[in-house]
A and B are shown apart, each in its own frame.
Chain A
Amino acid sequence: MTGTVDAAAGPAGSAPDSADATAPPRAAGPTVEQQRRQARRRHVAARIVVYVVAILAALLSAFPFIVEGIITFKRDQDLYAPGNNPFIYNLDPTVEHLDFLFTGTGFLGFVGNTLLVGGAVVAITLVLALPAAYSLARLPLRWGGALGITIFLVYLIPPSLLFVSFSRLVANLELQDSKWALVVLYPTITVPVSVWLLTGFFRSIPRDIEEQAMIDGYSRLAAFGRVAVPLAFPGIVAVVVFAFTLSAHEYLYASAFVSSSSEKTVSIGIPTELVLGDVFHWQELQAAALLVALPIAFVFSLLLGRFVAGFTMGAVKG
């Protein structure tokens, strides 16, 4: 926005010296000084609007998380007293609930399970998706284009339908009530998306680089492994983050196939294990949700540009 206003003000600003002598029509309208002032006023107004919208958007998005952060340290007598201001500490804050979350609940176990499932899902996803994406992007395949679209469409088959068959599959694999069932199932979601994303990244690498490597004696496979894969690193980072966060996000399969608390991931463990019957451990519950939310959002913020690029590349054929 700054650029456009400057561009409009620039030529007008340089006008006065010459305009006086030779070109009266310009002075007939509002003077240059007035125009300039008007432009500045508009500019200031636009900036104010931008900041108001920014603050509003940030507040509306973060409101529940801000409240979570506050009540994490609230004493029970403070939290449950009717009419108490929920946004301030009416009694001294305490870390007893945070302490209890780490020592008295399964929270760390849920985090551990999530890291383990996430790591395994990332590994499986990369092993399956990298070669498949390279093949679709570079190698001669008669049905390559149609196949690429079909793999993407697989992502759209609803888990609400698939879990019906999976309940039998999980039983046959004897993985009932095990986090390893999730390791087997989550790639059904991550592989199609990752193939789609990585195909875009591979297409965006200039062909010449691999061809030069092959002239230098690399086989096609080596050109893939030692040239194309390192160059697709930004895409791989996007896939790793996506596959990993899916393991933290996924709820349906986790609640259908994992029931003992020692096997649960954060997404299902926190809502089910920190509520005992009708008793909500509000402070622990909110602290746990916040502790999971913040690191994921931080990583996403760092990589946002990369995701936007990946989305654009995945969609636009090279």
Chain B
Amino acid sequence: MTATSAPARARVTDREGLLARLMLLPAIVYILALVAIPFVVAIAYSFSDVTAGDPSFDWVGLENYRANLDDPVFRRSLWNTFFFTAATMALTVVIANIVALLLTTDFRGKWFVRFLILLPWTTPAALGAIAWLFMLDSLLSPIDWILWQVGLLDEPRHMIWLGSSGWAKASVIGVQVWRLVPLAAVIIMAGQTSIPDDIKDAAAIDGAGFWRRLWEVTLPLTLPVIAIAVLFGAILTFTDMSLVSVLTNGGPVNQTQVLASWAYIRGIDGGNLAQGAAVAVFLLPLLLAATIGILRAVRRWEVG
């Protein structure tokens, strides 16, 4: 501040208040035009009868919401979205903590192991789903072959993973966990490396073994970061449509449909934009809750 108080300086490039606004302006204008306004418009659509073919806006009140709630596929999508997210995050948090502990340890070939562990996350979700589409194929599945070889399947017969409701759901959850563990592990790792070394050393010198250090030092100190990882993962699972779309396409018979994929089927494939919007609006309350959770966790982490 002292540097700029020299009296002769009044060029635009030095007037900090004005400059601050000018530098922010393009980003703000873009976000207002392409996120804020479309967001409001989409919510307004959900109270209308707008379709791809007939874009005129007529107010229909809660009609789309009522139609959705009466629709068994919508109700299943709603339930699946919550169920997949909860199951995915429960498994992810446990595995990601183990992976994070592994990656903060030194061992030979760590670079290569880290590369392989990152693969599921850095691969586009739709292409990861393609890989699993083969792994779970009704005729060619290598998993079936292994099960047969170790004697868990009597003969070279097939599980048809994606053809039954239960296994299809388990597959969606499994692949989602596979995809999200690396991200959660990296975030948790950031938390673990930020624990001051003297705390870890002090615990070790006091004779605390691995498990005691884990339960009494590492986990409590990384809890806010773990919360951030879980909430980010939950948002990604909650809003993702690509995995379901490629892996099961919602099948068998809409059994694995989620809100995001159903909104797409209604809004784009079916051309009923209003109904699609009304489906997607149901994502908002949980996203809001997750957001508040993230902000709280971040604050706790900063304080701690």
Contact surface of A with B, Cβ cutoff 8 Å? 1-4, 7-8, 46-47, 50-51, 53-55, 57-58, 60-65, 67-68, 71, 79-80, 82-83, 85-87, 127-129, 131-132, 134-136, 139-141, 147, 149, 151, 153-154, 156-169, 184-185, 187-188, 191-192, 195, 211, 214-215, 219-222, 224, 245, 248-249, 251-252, 255-256, 266-268, 270-271, 280, 282, 285-286, 288-290, 292-294, 296-298, 300-301, 304, 307-308, 311-312, 315-317
Contacts and interface: CB of A to CB of B under 8 A. Distances in A.
B142 A67 contact: yes
Interface in B24-56: 24, 26-28, 30-31, 34-39, 41-43, 45, 52, 55
Interface residues of B, number: 114
A132 B13 contact: no
Contacts of B112: 58
Nearest to B155: A83
Contacts of B114: 301, 304
Contact of B131 (A65, A165, A294): A65
B35 A271 contact: no
Given A131-B26, A252-B241, A296-B123, A315 B298 contact: yes
Contacts of A192: 31
B160 interface: no
B14 interface: yes
Given A270-B126, A311-B190, A191 B30 contact: yes
Nearest to A195: B27
A151 B25 CA distance: 12
Interface string B278-298: 011101100100110001001
Nearest to A248: B124
B83 interface: no
Given A60-B178, A161-B281, A162-B42, A270 B130 contact: yes
B259 interface: yes
Nearest to A154: B35
A280 B190 CA distance: 41
B204 A271 contact: no
A154 B31 contact: yes
A162 B106 CA distance: 44
A187 B263 CA distance: 22
Contacts of A271: 126-127, 129-130, 246
B102 A161 contact: no
B119 to A, nearest CB: 5
Contacts, number: 312
B189 A308 contact: yes
Interface string B102-118: 10011101111111111
Interface of B: 2-4, 9, 11, 13-14, 16-17, 19-24, 26-28, 30-31, 34-39, 41-43, 45, 52, 55, 98-99, 102, 105-107, 109-135, 139-140, 142, 145, 156, 178, 181-182, 186-187, 189-190, 193-194, 200-201, 204-205, 207, 210, 228, 235, 238-239, 241-242, 245-246, 259-260, 263-264, 267-268, 273, 276-277, 279-281, 283-284, 287, 290-291, 295, 298, 301-302
A2 B246 CA distance: 45
Given A282-B140, A301-B115, A7 B204 contact: yes
A158 B182 contact: no
A297 B27 contact: no
Contact of B126 (A82, A127, A251): A251
A68 B134 contact: yes
Given A67-B131, A301-B114, A2 B106 contact: yes
A53 B107 CA distance: 11
